[in-house]
Structure 1
């Protein structure tokens, strides 16, 4: 991979990082309810799934996932089911005061685990690593090192995206002083997560 190809990769990659999706929506919701730091640190959980996907793509194992309709369908189904479950939990959640006592659902471990599972069940993320990243790899050169550079760049830009969405959530949190507004904010986030989950079922392999 040439330096020029890497420069072309960065803006295209960042556009993918910043695209509205279930993980970024989670960051907004967590930041609005529990603050920037909890949303940002918890958001690192998604990097575990993304790093695993990059490793699979680099070793060629992702080809199996991409080629198998059954496995891809199971991933879609699991991801959709989990997002719908999260949507229901948000819809039914209590409108606890912003900055109030944190419950177990707001622990960093729980937030990070939720981010990890949402990322792992996202078929669009799988397609990014099996179809998008390889476009920038020069097969005439060592592939592993190139995937390492591309993967590290993706994860670094993902950290920036997490921070930006968390900041957006903190800004929105200023308007959630009334319990009714907080309740409808949670329900809106839940409805969007549910819609994204259903849309997962419409994703097809290239």
Structure 2
């Protein structure tokens, strides 16, 4: 892959990774509730779940949506149900301990995070754009072998910033009912962030 293409891919990966979205809202909330270390499974699940999706699309899974358009509608419906479930779980998330130090409750798991990406229409859309722009249709496996590590190298630290930012808010949110209000707000943003793609298309 030419150097200018690598830089273009890295820039695309950074913008797509650091911009607000369902996964990043989850990371912000998880960082605030549980700290960065306990949010690592969520970070890895979001990143690796998306990259797995990119590999599937790059190897030809995207053609399924052209052959069976109903698949896109099923994904959107499944995503809507799953996102609402995640939002409820987030809104009812455990609070900080008495000193704002000891987390109470359980953070989202790796599997839950990866599942979110696999039913996330926004992630599917980005995966289609990414593979259409940077995968050689004549050499898809070779292209993906270069693309995936570059995207992961940029994506992991970029999305981690959201969990780190959440952790930075822990002391402030540990006072009164601030964390409760914060969790409700994050749950609402999670649902609202998916409305445009849920009403749109997966391709």
TM-score band (shorter)? 0.7 to 0.9
Alignment correspondent of 1:124: 122
Residue-by-residue CA offset, 1:121-162 (whole Å, 9 max, x unaligned): 11111121122332123446x331111211221122221123
SS of residue paired to 1:179? coil
Alignment correspondent of 2:131: 133
Work out whether residues 43 and 111 of structure 1, in 8 Å CA contact, stay in contact via their aligned partners in 2.
Answer: no
Unaligned regions of 5+ residues in structure 2, if any?
none
SS of residue paired to 2:173? coil
Tell me how large the CA RMSD over aligned residues is: 2.1
Alignment correspondent of 1:180: 177
TM-aligned CA deviation for residue 50 of structure 1: 1.6
1:101–1:205 Cα change, 3 Å: closer
Residue-by-residue CA offset, 1:52-95 (whole Å, 9 max, x unaligned): 21221221122213553211111111111111122223334454
CA distance in 1, matches of 2:57, 2:191: 28
TM-score (structure 2 length as normaliser): 0.88
> For residues 1-206 of structure 1, what are the structure 2 equivalents within 5 Å?
1-65=1-65, 67-93=67-93, 95-97=95-97, 98-100=100-102, 102-103=104-105, 105-106=106-107, 110-139=108-137, 142-206=139-203
SS of residue paired to 2:172? coil
| Structure 1 stretches of at least 4 aligned residues deviating more than 6 Å after TM superposition | none
CA distance in 2, matches of 1:19, 1:101: 27
Residues paired across the two proteins, number: 201
Unaligned regions of 5+ residues in structure 1, if any?
none
Work out whether residues 49 and 118 of structure 2, in 8 Å CA contact, stay in contact via their aligned partners in 1.
Answer: yes
CA distance in 2, matches of 1:126, 1:47: 13
TM-aligned CA deviation for residue 101 of structure 1: 5.1
Work out whether residues 6 and 136 of structure 1, in 8 Å CA contact, stay in contact via their aligned partners in 2.
Answer: no
CA distance in 1, matches of 2:68, 2:129: 15
Work out whether residues 93 and 186 of structure 1, in 8 Å CA contact, stay in contact via their aligned partners in 2.
Answer: yes
CA distance in 2, matches of 1:2, 1:143: 16
